[in-house]
Amino acid sequence: MAVLKTQARPYVRSAADLAHKSGRWEDWGRALGVMGVLASSPAFLKALKRWAPEAQVKDLVLKVTGDLIWEEPLELILVLRDQKQLEIMGEFPELWREMEEERLGTRVLELSLPYTLVDTELSALTAYLETKFHCRLHPRTGIDPLLLGGYTARVGDRVWDATVLGSLEKLQDNLWYREIEDATQRQ
Protein backbone atom coordinates (compact mmCIF):
# COMPACT_ATOMS: atom_id res chain seq x y z
CA MET A 1 0.00 0.00 0.00
CA ALA A 2 1.42 3.36 -1.07
CA VAL A 3 0.53 5.17 2.16
CA LEU A 4 2.32 2.63 4.33
CA LYS A 5 5.33 2.70 2.03
CA THR A 6 5.48 6.48 2.25
CA GLN A 7 5.27 6.33 6.05
CA ALA A 8 7.95 3.61 6.20
CA ARG A 9 10.48 5.30 3.91
CA PRO A 10 12.02 7.73 6.46
CA TYR A 11 12.56 4.90 8.94
CA VAL A 12 14.32 2.78 6.33
CA ARG A 13 16.45 5.76 5.26
CA SER A 14 17.45 6.27 8.90
CA ALA A 15 18.28 2.56 9.19
CA ALA A 16 20.37 2.83 6.02
CA ASP A 17 22.27 5.78 7.48
CA LEU A 18 22.92 3.86 10.70
CA ALA A 19 23.94 0.76 8.73
CA HIS A 20 26.37 2.75 6.62
CA LYS A 21 27.93 4.53 9.62
CA SER A 22 28.22 1.34 11.69
CA GLY A 23 29.36 -0.92 8.84
CA ARG A 24 26.45 -3.32 9.51
CA TRP A 25 24.65 -3.07 6.17
CA GLU A 26 23.91 -6.79 5.86
CA ASP A 27 22.84 -7.05 9.51
CA TRP A 28 20.38 -4.20 9.09
CA GLY A 29 19.06 -5.77 5.90
CA ARG A 30 18.36 -9.01 7.75
CA ALA A 31 16.82 -7.15 10.70
CA LEU A 32 14.45 -5.17 8.47
CA GLY A 33 13.55 -8.38 6.63
CA VAL A 34 12.69 -10.01 9.96
CA MET A 35 10.64 -6.98 10.92
CA GLY A 36 8.72 -7.36 7.65
CA VAL A 37 7.97 -10.98 8.53
CA LEU A 38 6.83 -9.96 12.02
CA ALA A 39 4.46 -7.40 10.49
CA SER A 40 2.87 -10.12 8.36
CA SER A 41 1.75 -11.97 11.50
CA PRO A 42 -1.51 -10.52 12.86
CA ALA A 43 -1.07 -12.54 16.05
CA PHE A 44 2.40 -11.15 16.65
CA LEU A 45 1.30 -7.57 15.96
CA LYS A 46 -1.61 -8.03 18.35
CA ALA A 47 0.77 -9.32 21.03
CA LEU A 48 3.12 -6.35 20.53
CA LYS A 49 0.26 -3.87 20.75
CA ARG A 50 -1.27 -5.51 23.81
CA TRP A 51 1.82 -5.87 25.97
CA ALA A 52 2.41 -2.51 27.57
CA PRO A 53 5.61 -3.10 29.58
CA GLU A 54 8.63 -2.39 27.39
CA ALA A 55 10.65 -5.20 29.00
CA GLN A 56 8.03 -7.79 28.00
CA VAL A 57 7.94 -6.50 24.44
CA LYS A 58 11.74 -6.70 24.23
CA ASP A 59 11.70 -10.24 25.64
CA LEU A 60 9.04 -11.35 23.18
CA VAL A 61 10.85 -9.88 20.15
CA LEU A 62 14.22 -11.29 21.20
CA LYS A 63 12.71 -14.71 21.92
CA VAL A 64 11.14 -14.85 18.45
CA THR A 65 14.00 -13.32 16.45
CA GLY A 66 17.07 -14.58 18.27
CA ASP A 67 20.24 -12.72 17.31
CA LEU A 68 18.72 -11.21 14.14
CA ILE A 69 17.44 -8.23 16.14
CA TRP A 70 19.74 -6.29 18.47
CA GLU A 71 19.26 -3.08 20.47
CA GLU A 72 18.92 -0.53 17.64
CA PRO A 73 16.29 -2.39 15.56
CA LEU A 74 14.52 -3.29 18.80
CA GLU A 75 14.31 0.42 19.67
CA LEU A 76 12.80 1.04 16.24
CA ILE A 77 10.11 -1.56 16.93
CA LEU A 78 9.34 0.11 20.26
CA VAL A 79 9.10 3.55 18.62
CA LEU A 80 6.74 2.16 15.98
CA ARG A 81 4.66 0.49 18.68
CA ASP A 82 4.39 3.73 20.64
CA GLN A 83 3.37 5.60 17.47
CA LYS A 84 0.87 2.84 16.58
CA GLN A 85 2.64 2.25 13.26
CA LEU A 86 3.80 -1.36 13.55
CA GLU A 87 2.10 -2.25 10.26
CA ILE A 88 4.58 -0.18 8.25
CA MET A 89 7.28 -2.75 9.07
CA GLY A 90 5.75 -4.84 6.27
CA GLU A 91 7.15 -2.32 3.79
CA PHE A 92 10.69 -2.45 5.20
CA PRO A 93 12.07 -5.35 3.08
CA GLU A 94 11.05 -3.83 -0.27
CA LEU A 95 12.27 -0.37 0.68
CA TRP A 96 15.57 -1.85 1.88
CA ARG A 97 16.03 -3.59 -1.49
CA GLU A 98 15.52 -0.20 -3.16
CA MET A 99 18.17 1.33 -0.86
CA GLU A 100 20.51 -1.55 -1.68
CA GLU A 101 20.03 -0.96 -5.41
CA GLU A 102 20.73 2.73 -4.94
CA ARG A 103 23.85 1.99 -2.90
CA LEU A 104 25.21 -0.48 -5.46
CA GLY A 105 24.15 1.54 -8.48
CA THR A 106 21.99 -1.30 -9.79
CA ARG A 107 18.29 -1.71 -10.48
CA VAL A 108 16.15 -4.83 -10.34
CA LEU A 109 15.23 -6.26 -13.73
CA GLU A 110 12.02 -8.28 -13.61
CA LEU A 111 11.93 -10.64 -16.57
CA SER A 112 8.84 -12.59 -17.63
CA LEU A 113 9.81 -15.49 -19.85
CA PRO A 114 8.02 -18.45 -21.43
CA TYR A 115 10.76 -20.81 -20.18
CA THR A 116 13.84 -20.85 -17.96
CA LEU A 117 17.04 -19.43 -19.45
CA VAL A 118 20.44 -20.97 -18.87
CA ASP A 119 22.97 -18.72 -17.11
CA THR A 120 24.77 -17.66 -20.29
CA GLU A 121 21.49 -16.68 -21.98
CA LEU A 122 20.38 -14.74 -18.92
CA SER A 123 23.74 -12.94 -18.72
CA ALA A 124 23.62 -12.01 -22.40
CA LEU A 125 20.03 -10.77 -22.17
CA THR A 126 20.83 -8.78 -19.02
CA ALA A 127 23.85 -7.17 -20.69
CA TYR A 128 21.70 -6.24 -23.71
CA LEU A 129 18.97 -4.74 -21.50
CA GLU A 130 21.53 -2.75 -19.51
CA THR A 131 22.21 -0.85 -22.75
CA LYS A 132 18.48 -0.20 -23.20
CA PHE A 133 17.80 0.87 -19.61
CA HIS A 134 21.17 2.67 -19.19
CA CYS A 135 22.01 1.16 -15.80
CA ARG A 136 23.41 -1.97 -14.17
CA LEU A 137 20.70 -4.58 -13.70
CA HIS A 138 20.13 -7.43 -11.26
CA PRO A 139 17.76 -9.92 -12.94
CA ARG A 140 14.82 -11.69 -11.31
CA THR A 141 13.05 -14.11 -13.58
CA GLY A 142 9.54 -15.45 -13.62
CA ILE A 143 7.91 -17.94 -15.95
CA ASP A 144 4.75 -16.83 -17.76
CA PRO A 145 3.23 -19.83 -19.55
CA LEU A 146 0.96 -17.50 -21.55
CA LEU A 147 3.94 -16.08 -23.45
CA LEU A 148 4.48 -17.74 -26.82
CA GLY A 149 8.00 -16.43 -27.12
CA GLY A 150 10.18 -13.47 -26.30
CA TYR A 151 10.07 -11.71 -22.93
CA THR A 152 8.91 -8.66 -21.05
CA ALA A 153 11.40 -6.69 -19.00
CA ARG A 154 10.43 -4.29 -16.21
CA VAL A 155 12.80 -1.92 -14.44
CA GLY A 156 10.91 0.28 -12.03
CA ASP A 157 8.01 1.70 -14.00
CA ARG A 158 9.62 1.19 -17.43
CA VAL A 159 8.61 -1.86 -19.49
CA TRP A 160 10.29 -3.34 -22.55
CA ASP A 161 7.94 -5.65 -24.46
CA ALA A 162 9.84 -8.10 -26.66
CA THR A 163 7.17 -10.80 -26.80
CA VAL A 164 5.96 -12.45 -29.98
CA LEU A 165 2.46 -11.14 -29.30
CA GLY A 166 3.82 -7.63 -28.70
CA SER A 167 5.72 -7.74 -31.99
CA LEU A 168 2.62 -8.92 -33.87
CA GLU A 169 0.56 -6.11 -32.31
CA LYS A 170 3.20 -3.55 -33.37
CA LEU A 171 3.16 -4.97 -36.90
CA GLN A 172 -0.64 -4.78 -36.98
CA ASP A 173 -0.56 -1.16 -35.79
CA ASN A 174 2.05 -0.23 -38.43
CA LEU A 175 -0.01 -1.83 -41.21
CA TRP A 176 -3.15 -0.10 -40.00
CA TYR A 177 -1.44 3.31 -39.92
CA ARG A 178 -0.04 2.74 -43.41
CA GLU A 179 -3.54 1.94 -44.69
CA ILE A 180 -4.81 5.18 -43.19
CA GLU A 181 -1.93 7.16 -44.72
CA ASP A 182 -2.50 5.55 -48.13
CA ALA A 183 -6.24 6.25 -47.98
CA THR A 184 -5.74 9.91 -47.05
CA GLN A 185 -3.13 10.39 -49.80
CA ARG A 186 -5.49 8.94 -52.45
CA GLN A 187 -8.21 11.44 -51.61
**pLDDT tens, residue by residue, 39-69:** 999 988 888 887 668 888 888 889 989 889 9
Stretch 2-13: mean pLDDT: 89
Same domain membership, residue 111 and residue 39: no
Residue at a domain's end among 70, 101, 132:
101
pLDDT-derived band at 166 (thresholds 50, 70, 90) equals confident
- pLDDT value for 1: 59
Domain that holds residue 72: 2-101
Which letter does DSSP use for residue 116 in this model? P
Q: 10 Å Cβ neighbour count for 84?
A: 8
- pLDDT value for 185: 80
Stretch 102-131: mean pLDDT: 91
What is the number of structural domains in the chain?
A: 2
Q: 10 Å Cβ neighbour count for 24?
A: 16
